[in-house]
Structure 1
């Protein structure tokens, strides 16, 4: 008897997760190490003086929320999920190449047209976690927000994966909500302004569309 889709999807996700898990773990770790080396090199070697991003009225609508730091750092778990749930080496390689293209494109923009987030009137010594991050990042490489671009890109890929395995709509909405919370957090901790977020969302959508446009999105067919 063929299992119902509602009961089959957790097993499909588990099977995907354990497939090539060692390669996925090593590849994700290596990719992040290389990315951060490139990111901080560009941050400290811009081609010209960074341009401060303008603040719009919408930026004042999002209150400063130090607790948003937890959502901000959750990105690194969120962006690891699509690769962890891919079913084959071919799909993993394809996903990795498109992810690298997204990151490389943003790094090129950061180097050619460097921008920085405006400095808010906040005593960062009262928020040690945020102060540490600000000291590392200096709120540079602002537009487009690569944090947002990566979250949106991952959200589209997760949607694609959840549809493939026939996961319930509620799971897809949880993913969308997590993406939205990550986007909010970039403004809530004053790491980015609205224009950074908007540009990052557009970049994430563009690369998701390019990488998924030739891939079927229907549920995987089962043998009877």
Structure 2
């Protein structure tokens, strides 16, 4: 009687999954981001009412501004690409794309119906030229809930489930939590958002992640 062959290592499984439908994953992720930015700026330029300035809490003052947070803030665009890259079937890829699209539509609807903005920071931005890009691209409006946080949390839940499915080391799951946490911190430390924006994004990300993973029924 032949013994069953051992399951492939988690490294081989990851490599195999990345190779599955990779042109669709690459082009789909790029196309999704372009479509998202088009919708984001359309809402930004055409709010239904004047934006309401979000309040600052003691926690915002405690966290403070940190120029070192910029790389973590920008890392979101790589981070949100990891989960779809690791999906092993077309059904899972379409389901992931559909749910993160609904998450974005939900937040954009809030931005349009109830526009908000972050309060002006007492910072001389001329002293930090590295921030010119995000200050021009990711404006201080469309603040609550933080879509940056919502998509990071959504991705973190999916990555955690994928790492568990692949029997990856616990270290990867902890690094996943750490990266998501650092991104959340960066939204406040760059003064792109206040704490209440981050809390709203956290709630949205959790709700959509739980619903989407329940709908996936283990098919990822």
TM range (shorter): over 0.9
Are 1:42 and 2:59 counterparts?
A: no
Cross-structure match for 1:169: 170
* CA shift for structure 1 position 168: 1.4
Cross-structure match for 2:154: 153
* CA shift for structure 1 position 99: 0.8
Distance between the aligned counterparts of 1:137 and 1:14, measured in 2?
A: 33
Distance between the aligned counterparts of 1:119 and 1:81, measured in 2?
A: 33
- TM-score normalized by the length of structure 1: 0.93
Q: Is the 8 A contact 2:56 2:194 kept in 1?
A: yes
Cα RMSD for the two superposed structures: 1.5
CA-to-partner distance for each residue in 1:6-27, whole Å, 9 max, x for gaps?
x711111110001000000000
* CA shift for structure 1 position 132: 2.9
Distance between the aligned counterparts of 2:187 and 2:113, measured in 1?
A: 23
Cross-structure match for 2:187: 186
CA-to-partner distance for each residue in 1:165-187, whole Å, 9 max, x for gaps?
11111110100100000000000
1:3 to 3, 6, 19: 6
**How do residues 84-123 of structure 1 correspond to structure 2 at under 5 angstroms?**
84-123=85-124
Q: Secondary structure at the match of 2:168?
A: coil
Distance between the aligned counterparts of 1:8 and 1:132, measured in 2?
A: 41
* CA shift for structure 1 position 130: 1.2
Cross-structure match for 1:141: 142
Q: Secondary structure at the match of 2:9?
A: helix
The total of aligned residue pairs comes to 217
Cross-structure match for 1:60: 61
* CA shift for structure 1 position 3: 3.0
Of residues 42-51 and 134-143 in structure 1, the stretch that sits farther from structure 2 once superposed is 134-143
* CA shift for structure 1 position 213: 1.3
* CA shift for structure 1 position 217: 5.2
Distance between the aligned counterparts of 2:86 and 2:200, measured in 1?
A: 27
* CA shift for structure 1 position 94: 0.6
Cross-structure match for 2:31: 30
* CA shift for structure 1 position 214: 3.8
**How do residues 6-25 of structure 1 correspond to structure 2 at under 5 angstroms?**
8-25=9-26
Question: Which sections of structure 2, spanning at least 5 residues, go unmatched?
Answer: none
Distance between the aligned counterparts of 1:28 and 1:217, measured in 2?
A: 22
* CA shift for structure 1 position 216: 4.6
Q: Is the 8 A contact 1:163 1:217 kept in 2?
A: no
